């Protein structure tokens, strides 16, 4: 069921999403070569909690027998891993890495979700273009995130832009509604047809999150039961924000 947020709920979500944006500002200042993904996760969780937030991803159920609940506050995915990378003391961030960080902050009973791609040190031109394409694809979708339009209008804009740049998209995962729950209706695919899907209404809060790769669209799940990587080992990028549908232009909640 799609939930329409009241003015009071929107105010609370703005506060939560501001903290989400602050977490990413903090990560951008501390992430560096030689740091383990476990250390990055630890520091980000400390920052989050010290500002009144709760890491909503920590303990998120896998839903799969034998796969533990998600153990960390951040998903940290490097190079060919596009989403859901599990932080580890054994995974060290290196010069030239493309690092995707995805986190959800819970505060005031509401969730704020965003993802960023960090380019570490001396990265390739392809990596730079890939990361910029993922970010711009979000903004291409955002142009259609207006009352009266449909979810498919966002999806079509994202897909059209990414493919125009010569890259591919993850088909099996998508954006989503958000509020008291991390994942709410409607689903917001990155591939779709204009004019299709649920109609957008003022008061809806949704996440648009292009997940793209330089190579083929085929993905696979790693042995940890969480990490999703490209089968051909190609580089990936991810960019996401929580937005509010209004009577006028959409409001991006997870940017300072």
Annotated domain spans of the chain: 7-252
Q: Among residues 170, 171, 194, 198, which one has the least CA distance to residue 184?
A: 198
- Other beta carbons less than 10 A from residue 58's beta carbon: 18
Alpha helical stretches, state H, the chain: 7-30, 37-50, 125-142, 151-164
Fold of 7-252: Creatine Amidinohydrolase (3.90.230)
Q: Return per-residue pLDDT of the chain as tens, 256 residues.
A: 999 999 999 999 999 999 999 999 999 999 999 999 999 999 999 999 999 999 999 999 999 999 999 999 999 999 999 999 999 999 999 999 999 999 999 999 999 999 999 999 999 999 999 999 999 999 999 999 999 999 999 999 999 999 999 999 999 999 999 999 999 999 999 999 999 999 999 999 999 999 999 999 999 999 999 999 999 999 999 999 999 999 999 999 999 9
The side-by-side arrangement of strands in the sheet containing 236-238 is: 168-169, 211-213, 236-238
Assess whether the previous peptide bond of 186 is cis (omega < 30° from 0). yes
Give this prediction's pTM: 0.97
Under a CB-based contact definition with an 8 Å cutoff, are residues 178 and 206 in contact? yes
Structure tokens, 117: 């791609």
What is the predicted pLDDT for the residue at 214? 98
Q: What is the pLDDT of residue 149?
A: 98
């Amino acid at each position: 069921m799609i939930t329409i947020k009241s003015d009071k709920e929107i105010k609370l979500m703005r506060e939560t999403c501001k903290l989400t944006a602050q977490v990413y500002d903090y990560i951008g200042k501390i992430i560096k070569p030689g740091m383990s993904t476990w250390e990055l996760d630890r520091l980000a969780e400390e920052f989050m909690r010290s500002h009144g937030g709760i890491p909503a991803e920590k303990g998120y159920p896998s839903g799969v027998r034998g796969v533990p609940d998600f153990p960390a506050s951040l998903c940290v995915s490097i190079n060919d891993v596009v989403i859901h990378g599990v932080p580890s003391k054994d995974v060290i961030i290196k010069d030239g890495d493309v690092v995707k960080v995805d986190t959800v902050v819970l505060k005031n009973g509401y969730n704020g979700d965003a993802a960023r791609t960090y380019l570490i040190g001396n990265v390739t031109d392809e990596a730079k273009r890939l990361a910029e394409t993922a970010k711009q694809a979000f903004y291409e979708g955002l142009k259609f995130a207006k009352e009266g339009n449909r979810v498919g209008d966002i999806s079509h804009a994202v897909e059209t832009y990414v493919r125009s740049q010569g890259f591919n998209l993850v088909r099996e995962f998508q954006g989503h509604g958000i509020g008291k729950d991390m994942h709410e209706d409607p689903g917001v695919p990155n591939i779709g047809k204009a004019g299709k899907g649920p109609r957008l209404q003022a008061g809806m809060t949704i996440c648009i999150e292009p997940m793209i790769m330089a190579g083929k669209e085929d993905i696979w799940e790693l042995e940890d039961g969480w990490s999703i990587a490209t089968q051909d080992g190609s580089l990936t990028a991810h960019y996401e924000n929580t937005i509010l549908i209004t009577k006028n232009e959409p409001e991006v909640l997870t940017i300072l």
